[in-house]
Every structure is written in structure tokens, then in C-alpha cells.
Structure 1
Amino acid sequence: MLKLPPVSQCNELRQSIEKDYSSLCDKQPIGRLLFRQFCSTQYSLQRCIEFLDAVAEYEVSPDEDRRERGQLVLNTFFNNEVAESSSIQGWIMPFERVDHTSLAHASTHGRWVAPASGCCNTAAPLPRIPARVVRACRLRLKEIPSKELFKECVSRYNCTPSSSRVVHRYLSGKPFEEYQESPYFSRFLQWKWLERQPVTKKTFRHYRVLGKGGFGEVYACQVRATGKMYACKKMLKKRIKRRNGEAMALNEKRLLEKVQSRFVVSLCYTYETKDALCLVLTIMNGGDLKFHIYNLGSPGFNEQRAVFYAAELCCGLEDLQRERIAYRDLKPENILLDDRAPEVINNEAYTYGPDWWGLGCLLYEMIQGHSPFRRFKEKVKREEVERRVKEDTEEYSPRFSEDAESICRMLLTKDPKQRLGCQGDGAAGVRKHPLFKNINFKRLEVHMVEPPFCPDRNAVYCKDIMDIEQFSMVRGIYLDATDTTFYSQFVTGSVSIPWQNEVLLVSMTAAQVRVTDENDKDVCMIESECFKDINESENEETQDLRQEDKTCQPKPAPKRKRGFFHRLLSRWGCMS
């Protein structure tokens, strides 16, 4: 059971934690939530948050609504009529009066809401925004309402910060300092202390085997405290040592820990047992692409579904390349070497070219039902496949539309210098291809696009347990004290962002362990209110966090703590 420590127990953490605004108040989910709660206590800071949310809403708005939504943002936060007269040395202040009726239509996802009726009619001022930035936004909005409107206006003026960056810069100053002295930051430190507690095998419940990797098997597991389901990749220590795979395993761990992307499997925990090193990863309930391509109906997908997956893969590759990571092995399952790019086969120097080659192979395979250089179930030697990759031109059937064939040919160009995505524009160049003309990538990036296929939560999209080959025992390899340095670098416990997301958003994956009635309606969801329940419980015991930090006076008798079932029944209206 998760339980927060006393604030006084976090004093050492308060001194040692890195005071970085971006990390503590934006990237880390619990930190972001608590900082926003702190900002809500001051109307001027709340106004900044409303502006950032309004920009975020604009960026993911549908194409047909973008111009209207962008105009609403500008009219709400900046007074065009008095822009010139109120500017000071080229800087513009937001106007003072707000049309609250227009604000009521500003949000469809609950992130940007209008002030309640009866609030004062004067809006608190935002940080000063360069007048030329606002004018550039208005001009761009009239010409082309780009998804990047509030960022693209920056490119017209050298070194001019975007409006949202100006606001973040302001919040990272005095407001951030005040936040660190507030009870909200104390609460954040309590969660960070909890996040940093040791992780062991007993942290999880362990279930069936899902598959196998290079060093061991992959199992389904569940966090005992929250009910969250994961995939646990167990890498046998002796097998790693026999294959001299320490550097490879450590590199995989560090890369997965570094990348935080909606389109890349996240590393959430690491721990060790007597025999294995364990990576706890995001579980993919739908299984891998290869299973769907070849095991559910006739091989291959319709083009709409293939394009959707290709667009998501493009986003994932872009996130990896942003971190200067070349994946190199993109295919339905990443344990085969059939579709390596020509430059990889020839042992030539390369950067991200093999990734775009892999995307072309995968898109071809999704549409055609087999890889471009080997037919389904064709038995062919590896040398022959490599010859085909270097010399043969792939063939296209009527299943390919003109745009699908075009992008596959451009991605499967033998010369990496001429390949789509390798000519200096990277993922942006791939996104511009006509095949993706109906994809709103901004909405796709925040999972606001309806997928063409949703996995059945009651189905298992993987091989039967009896069909998964077991590893043989490793003989003649012995572990000793020299291996402990490697283990200590590998085993680091919880990963901050996934752990905090688990606590905050566990209800999104709670279908795995929910309790329902005969009509399939939720009766109870123990883990769905994890963060809220613990905060409420702590607030019942400590009415004011400042008192614990700043006073030694005797405290009044604590309010009688309500049990979990009392709180649960209260939510249902069963108790007064």
C-alpha cells in the first residue's frame, strides 16, 4: 500500500533535488499537477496557465477549426486595438478586459475553461510579449493557420522567443521560487521520496509468459500497490555474461530510460533477482504487428490501417532521432535480420537512413502481406535475401494506391543519400508526403485520432504458452563479485515520469482488474483514485503542511481517519 512519509522526512531530498523548472513543473506529471494547483491560488499565475492551455488546445484543433480557434486565443489574451498605444519599446501587454462568453467555447477537453460568472472582468496581465511576435501571429493566422502558429512566428525574427516560451520563462522565475516555499512543493517531495523507494520482485505479481527476447523471457506482471499491468523482460545474468552482452543490456536500459514518447515502449522499473536482471516495460495488450499481419485473417492490412500505423511509426522515429538514437531494426518483430538496409549489409557508415528504410519495408509488408524481398513462408537463405536487398527492385501489386507505391519507392531507395527522410528534412519530409494528407499529426501525437483497430480486451494477441520455446540452461558460467558493478549501474528502481503517470493515470488501464456487474458496469475500481485517495488521506491527517515545516507548537487532535470503504461508499452517495 502506498503511503506518503512525513514532510520532515524529506528535508534531505529538499536540499539535494535539482531545482530545474522544466523538469519539476512541466515534464514530471505529479510536479506539473501540483505546480498548477499552486498557480491556481494566484489569479495572475492562473492567467498564465490558461494562456498555455489555450495554445495547447489550438495546436491540436481540427484543421477546419484552426483559424477560428487561433483568432480566439489572440482576441482573448491580446488587445489588437490598443496594441500600438500600449506597447513599450516594442513590447505589448495583454488587454485588460476579456469576453467571457467567447471563452466558454474555447475548450472541448477540459484544459482551458472560462472563469465562472461573477469573476472580475479584468484579466490579470501576462508577462510582456514582444509586439512583433503578436503581429506575426495575426499575420500568419490570416495567411495559413499553421499548427505551429505560435512557434512559427518566432522564425521571422532572430532570437525572438515564442509567446509560450515567454510565459514559461516568467513562471520559472519568482513564481517558481515561491512554489518551492509552498506546501505544494512539500507534497511533491513526499511523492518523490515514495518514488525513490527500492523496487524488488515483491513489488509485482507475476503472470504468464508472453514471449522471449535475446537473453530471456518476457512475462506479464502487475504492480501490487496500483494494479497497473506491465511486461517484465527478464534477462538471465549467466546468459548475458556468456554472450558478453553487458554493454548491450546496459545500453538498452539507458536508451529506454531516456526516451519518453507515446510511440515508444517506456521503461518504468528496473530490479534484479538472484538469477536475472529485469526491465519492466509498457505492456502492449494488442500484441505485435507481425501477429496481426499474419495470424488474423488473410495476410496484410487495408491501406487506411497501414497508413495510420506508418504515421505513428514516423512519430516514434522522430522522437528517437530527437534524442540522437538510430533504431536501425524496424520491422514487425525485431528479432530477424531479413530487411536490413543496404548500407548496413555493406558495413558502411550510416545515421538514420536504416530507420526510414525499415519504415518502407514495414509499410510494404503491412499492405502486401509479405516483406518486399521475401514472400510469405518462403524459405530462402540469408545471403540470397541480402542480394535481393542490394540488387533487386521490389514489385507492387494492385493493393498499393499511387501514393502508397510512391512513398514505398522513395523509402526503399538503395542510395541512402536519395532516400526520403535522409535529405536534411528528416521526419518532417516524410510527413509531407501525400500518403499522409489526411493525418493530423498534432492530434495523432496526443492520441486524439481514432485508431482503425481497437484490441479486444478479452483477447490474447500472442502465441500460446506451449508454442513459446524455452531457453536451455547455461552451463560453465559463474557469477562473481566483478559483476556487481554492472548490476549496480543497471538496477536503479523506478523511472520518474512513467511512475508518476502510473499513479495519476492508472484508471486508464484499470480494465485489467476492474470489478463489474452483470451489465458490464463498473462496481468498484480500487486503483483508479490512487493519487487522489492518498492525498485526501494525508490531508485528513495534516490540515496544513506549513505547520509541519515551520512550527513546533502542539497540534490539535487529528480528525478521525475515514477508512477506504467509507470514502468509496461516500462517492456512491451511500453514506451521508
Structure 2
Amino acid sequence: MDFGSLETVVANSAFIAARGSFDASSGPASRDRKYLARLKLPPLSKCEALRESLDLGFEGMCLEQPIGKRLFQQFLRAHEQHGPALQLWKDIEDYDTADDALQPQKAQALRAAYLEPQAQLFCSFLDAETVARARAGAGDGLFQPLLRAVLAHLGQAPFQEFLDSLYFLRFLQWKWLEAQPMGEDWFLDFRVLGRGGFGEVFACQMKATGKLYACKKLNKKRLKKRKGYQGAMVEKKILAKVHSRFIVSLAYAFETKTDLCLVMTIMNGGDIRAVAGPRPPSGRSCTETRLGELLAALPGCWGGGVMSCVHGPALRRVLCRPVHCTEPRWAATPAGARLWVSRSRRAGLGLLTACLHLPLPGSSAGGFGARFPALWARAGGRGCGWENRLLLPAEAAELAEEAGWGPVTWTPAAGNVRISDLGLAVELKAGQTKTKGYAGTPGFMAPELLLGEEYDFSVDYFALGVTLYEMIAARGPFRARGEKVENKELKQRVLEQAVTYPDKFSPASKDFCEALLQKDPEKRLGFRDGSCDGLRTHPLFRDVSWRQLEAGMLTPPFVPDSRTVYAKNIQDVGAFSTVKGVAFEKADTEFFQEFASGTCPIPWQEEMIETGVFGDLNVWRPDGQMPDDMKGVSGQEAAPSSKSGMCVLS
């Protein structure tokens, strides 16, 4: 019997069972009740001091942080005078992610609902010039000036009111909970997925929420012996700084006795080279879609001054994330409304089709419009049937909250790609546009890097060109398939050899790849004048909607099988030998403590919302008074009237 293969089968079975099926039906059952009970909001006496240390700016709190945004929107929903601004905000976001064919209709409805003086939701705070431009324009970005005006309005008096409300105190509770130490004991390891230069990557599960992650364990002794401290810290800081749906997110950083651990987005679908392929019936090839997602990832790094893919491995190790979506069927509200939600294969696995049925005004539940005015207004003031529409998971969850039957959550993403390795990335200082160095994967490094010259972001595009060539030709542009080439010879080929293109390349893909692999960086296609328009308008992407791609709304060309583990057999991954002769000093201990910074706010808050923990803990009293958890009153001590699990928001 092959016990190595048996070990892989057993480990894969445990991992697949934890991962659950596509609808994540096993998610709640996989939570550890002991650790879930430790996720408890503190009394205000413990978190009031956070007022002095937190950044209380409107943008950072109410737009960037998921829980802050959710609580601010709940505050607006609970105050009728702010309802029009909130609904306009949401509808502009809905317009920006709508299908091209639906945008004219949505634009007309939006203008009628918010920009006409006689409209019930008329936004009188908007200036005449902004309104006039919104009425006259069309196409992508039409309502962006309007959205900026709405957010500017909400960032003034409404935001100040929010800071004086119970919703802000709830935000302080969540920030206190976010700052609590979470280490090795909070995570359950499954099988090893891969191995790097300093350690291994394991699939793991956050015990309290049941969410799966990848845990990159960097061996402390190996890091010190191979002088890897600086590189490890740079990668950790960059992962914590960059937030993009096309780059893995760092959720936790902690230390164990032997390792420094980075807990990141798990990518279950395997290497991108295994899923790039022929053109599917939809008209977009896997290559076009995957390449578009990689292009969308690069500005996400640059916005933080990060040269992300300079050295090749980051682009080579791009993985696919699977569908992970919980779908309730009919759900009834106390007021008699019902919501049917199902996955829309026509529009993309990452979206949901929702049909909301509201009671007729004359029915026994005819007070629905008065009880839930925002939801009633979004349905156009109509009872018994709201046309099917596409909802982002978060929006559908908000509708469920408005309707009053408690939290409904989905985990978005369906077979999209993310850059998964930033171990050799470079972070530029403020005002710096170029850097110098020599590190990376042979065959991916641009000529100017090989020559020891200063280089800028254009080297990212050379690496992207090599990746595109590999995706289409199943080999690199500077060596034959299976050919072993010495690094010195490979360097000469990159510097001098012209690239040949097999018949697999279409005219558009050949032209695009040639433009990326230009040896002169000044002639290379790339990021110019603060824009990627030269790339995005290339004929190769004629069938790609960049707006929908960046919103994660395009149908993925490949969706991983939830019953398959896309990783090598455990015995093929290999194991490290023991590092000997390394002793730690005070400076090492201080570095480890600095590295182990705990939770990263945005990914942690997303986890709390996606897994339903936020909805479970965000409970308000029906009478609108201060909740018992803020007072420090336990469930046993609370009065019966304050035990309601219903979240009353309007």
C-alpha cells in the first residue's frame, strides 16, 4: 500500500469537508462554539478610550472600512431625513455595475427618482450644475460627480450626527474586538498546499467563523540563517497595505514558537497556467479574461507605491478562487414580504437574481410601506412583485436586514484570479518613481533590470508579456518547452533574441504580446500619463467590459470543482530539513514581535460580515435605547424585552 498517497487522500477529504460545497452549506456547522463565544462585543467602558487613538475621518471610517460603512448606512436608514441621500448612493453604485444594456433604463429611473423636484426622494442638497450634468450625460462614470456630491454632503452634518449616535459606539465596540490578539490557537490547520524558500503554506480554518484561509509559515531559524528578515517584513507590509479583489489579502499576522505566520486569502483553483485555454462559447477566451484581471491588479499595487510583479513569480503564481455562496430560498419577513434569491448563471456566478414580493397596500400587512419606507421606495412604491434584478451579495444582505428577518450573507467571488505572491515586491518611497536591484525569476526579468539599470513600473509589463506568452504557447518566449538553459544564456536571449510566435497566437494577442515584450522600456506598452487606457483599448480586449471586470461581475471562464484539491500530493511537496546552529537574540525577538501585528482591519471586518458574525452580534433594542451589550449586561441579566434578535433599523 502506498501510505504517501493514502495520507494525501485523507488530508484532501478533511479539507474538502471543511470547505463544503459551492453553497457553503457546511459553513455554520464548522464553527467552533468555544471560539465563537470569545467574539463578544465589549461594554463601552472598555472601548471609549479608542476615540483618542482611532482615525475618525469620514472616508476612512465610513467608506473604506466595511463595518464602518455598514453601520453608517444603518444610521442613515434609521433617520428619515437622510434616506434620499442613502438611496441615491446605493443606486449610483448599482448603476455603475449594471449591464450595458440596462444602464440607460437605470439612468432614466435614477434621474426621475432623485433629481426631479416633485419626486418623493428628491435630493435638494445637490447643486444645480451637478444635477444638470447628470441629466445631460450618458455612459460609464455618468453619475460619479453626483456620487462625489452625495458623499461630500454625507461627510458633513450627517457624519457629525453619526459620531454622536449609538451606531458610532457600536463601531468602537467592533474596533476593540478587532484589536484583540488572535494567534495560533484560533486556527485549525489542514493539509500543506505548497512550499517556498522559507517555509510552507497550509490550508487553515478560522475556528470562530469557519472561514478558510491559506497560512504561510516562515520558519524563524531559516529566515535568520538566510537573511530573510527584510524581505519577509516588506511582503507583510505590502499585503497589509494593498486592497484589491485581484490581489490576495492579508487577514492576520502572528508568531508561533517556530514560525512567523501570514494568514491570507485561500486560492483553491490551482495555477493560472492550468486554466488558460481555448475560447469558450461566451466569446471571451480564458486568456483575455485572466490577462484583464492581472492588468486590473497592477494599479491596485501602484496606488500604494508598490512595484508588484517586477520579478515574475507574482504573475506566475496567480490562482483561481472558487464559488462560495449561500443561497436562501423564500424568506418571510414579519411584515409579510418575501424574497427569492437564486444564482444567475446567465449574468455570472458572482451575482444573484433577486425577486422581492411586497404586500399590497390593502392587505393585512399593508403597513409595510410605512414601516420600511426605504425598501418600499426602492421597489418603486409597488406591492406584490418587484421585477427581477441583479444584486451584489452585500446588497441582497442589506435588503434582508431592511426587511427585518435577520442577517443573510454571501461570500462573493467565483473563479476569479488574484496575484498571490509579493515576496519580491518593492515598495517605493514618496515621490520615488524608479528603483534599482537584481532579483527575480530568470526569463521574467526585463532587459533594463538585467543590465543593472534603474527601472520603473514598465518592468511589470515585461513580466506580464512573458506570462501571456506562457498562457498561450505553454512555454516561455526565450526557451523551448522542456529545454534546460543556463541563466547566463537565458539572460543573453532576453537581451538580444527576437521572440517568435507560434500559430496559437491570434493577430491581436501577438500584437499585444509584442508590445509588452519590447526590449526598450520607452517603446513598451504600459502605464502612461497615469492611465492604462493604451492597454485597455487594445483590440485583444474588445469583448471585455472593464467596468464589470473590476467589479467582479463577469462570468468566469473557469470555475474550480469544489470536490477537487488543486495541489500536489503531500509527499511531492516535500519537507524542509532541520536548521541547526541558529540562536535568537534580543533583536530577533523584537523583530518577531513587530511582525506579529495581529488582525488587518479591512479583511477582518469583511470576514465578520461574510460569515454572519456581524449580523449575529449587531443586535439593537426594539425601543431604540442603548443595547445591553454596551452597558455590560449579560444575556441572563437582561430584561425579557431587550432579548429580541430582530434588528430594527427604521
TM-score interval (norm. to shorter): 0.7 to 0.9
The question of 1:544 aligning with 2:632 is answered no
Q: Does structure 2 retain, via aligned residues, the 8 Å contact 1:51–1:77? A: yes
Partner of 1:283: 266
Alignment TM-score, normalising by the size of structure 1:
0.78
Alignment size in residue pairs: 479
Aligned partner of residue 574 in structure 2, secondary structure: coil
Going from structure 1 to structure 2, the CA distance change for 1:562 and 1:374 (only over 3 Å counts) comes to: farther
Q: CA deviation at 1:241?
A: 1.2
Going from structure 1 to structure 2, the CA distance change for 1:549 and 1:422 (only over 3 Å counts) comes to: closer
> Mapping of 1:162-561 within 5 angstroms?
162-292=145-275, 301-302=278-279, 304-327=285-308, 328-330=310-312, 331-333=315-317, 336-506=441-611, 529-536=612-619, 544-545=625-626, 558-559=639-640
Structure 1, residues 154-185: CA drift from partner, whole Å, max 9, x if none? xxxxxxxx222222112111211111121111
The AA in structure 2 aligned to 1:123 is: L
Bigger relative contact order, structure 1 or 2 (CA pairs below 8 A, ≥6 apart): 2
Going from structure 1 to structure 2, the CA distance change for 1:388 and 1:8 (only over 3 Å counts) comes to: same
Q: Does structure 1 retain, via aligned residues, the 8 Å contact 2:223–2:229? A: yes
The question of 1:65 aligning with 2:58 is answered no
The question of 1:15 aligning with 2:52 is answered yes
Partner of 1:113: none
Of the structure 1 ranges 7-16 and 232-241, higher mean CA displacement relative to structure 2 is found in 7-16
Going from structure 1 to structure 2, the CA distance change for 1:17 and 1:345 (only over 3 Å counts) comes to: same
The AA in structure 2 aligned to 1:68 is: Q
Q: CA deviation at 1:14?
A: 3.0
| Uncovered stretches (5+) of structure 2, i.e. residues with no partner | 1-35, 318-420, 422-439
Determine which structure has the larger helix proportion and give its number.
Answer: 1
The question of 1:136 aligning with 2:118 is answered no
Going from structure 1 to structure 2, the CA distance change for 1:478 and 1:547 (only over 3 Å counts) comes to: closer
Q: Does structure 2 retain, via aligned residues, the 8 Å contact 1:44–1:125? A: no
Going from structure 1 to structure 2, the CA distance change for 1:246 and 1:260 (only over 3 Å counts) comes to: same
Going from structure 1 to structure 2, the CA distance change for 1:48 and 1:561 (only over 3 Å counts) comes to: closer
**Counterpart-to-counterpart distance in 2, 1:551 and 1:209:** 42
Q: CA deviation at 1:229?
A: 0.4
**Counterpart-to-counterpart distance in 2, 1:408 and 1:548:** 58
Going from structure 1 to structure 2, the CA distance change for 1:209 and 1:558 (only over 3 Å counts) comes to: same
Q: Does structure 2 retain, via aligned residues, the 8 Å contact 1:413–1:419? A: yes
| Uncovered stretches (5+) of structure 1, i.e. residues with no partner | 80-94, 99-121, 152-161, 294-299, 507-528, 571-576
Q: CA deviation at 1:414?
A: 0.8
Going from structure 1 to structure 2, the CA distance change for 1:391 and 1:6 (only over 3 Å counts) comes to: same
Structure 1, residues 509-567: CA drift from partner, whole Å, max 9, x if none? xxxxxxxxxxxxxxxxxxxx32222234x759x97327887999xx995229989xxx9
Q: Does structure 1 retain, via aligned residues, the 8 Å contact 2:621–2:642? A: no
Partner of 2:32: none
Alignment TM-score, normalising by the size of structure 2:
0.70
Partner of 1:521: none
User: Which of 31, 34, 41 is the aligned partner of 1:4?
Assistant: 41
**Counterpart-to-counterpart distance in 2, 1:474 and 1:496:** 34
Q: Does structure 1 retain, via aligned residues, the 8 Å contact 2:442–2:490? A: no
**Counterpart-to-counterpart distance in 1, 2:156 and 2:135:** 28
Structure 1, residues 157-214: CA drift from partner, whole Å, max 9, x if none? xxxxx22222211211121111112111111211111111101100100111100122
Q: CA deviation at 1:274?
A: 1.1
> Mapping of 1:30-49 within 5 angstroms?
30-49=67-86
**Counterpart-to-counterpart distance in 2, 1:439 and 1:557:** 55
Partner of 2:356: none
Q: CA deviation at 1:286?
A: 0.5
Going from structure 1 to structure 2, the CA distance change for 1:179 and 1:468 (only over 3 Å counts) comes to: same
Aligned partner of residue 252 in structure 1, secondary structure: helix
Structure 1, residues 205-243: CA drift from partner, whole Å, max 9, x if none? 011110012211111110000000000001111111112
The AA in structure 1 aligned to 2:72 is: F
Partner of 1:297: none
**Counterpart-to-counterpart distance in 2, 1:470 and 1:547:** 51
**Counterpart-to-counterpart distance in 2, 1:478 and 1:372:** 45
Going from structure 1 to structure 2, the CA distance change for 1:249 and 1:551 (only over 3 Å counts) comes to: closer
Going from structure 1 to structure 2, the CA distance change for 1:311 and 1:20 (only over 3 Å counts) comes to: same
Q: Does structure 1 retain, via aligned residues, the 8 Å contact 2:217–2:259? A: yes
The AA in structure 2 aligned to 1:8 is: S
Aligned partner of residue 618 in structure 2, secondary structure: helix
The AA in structure 2 aligned to 1:75 is: A
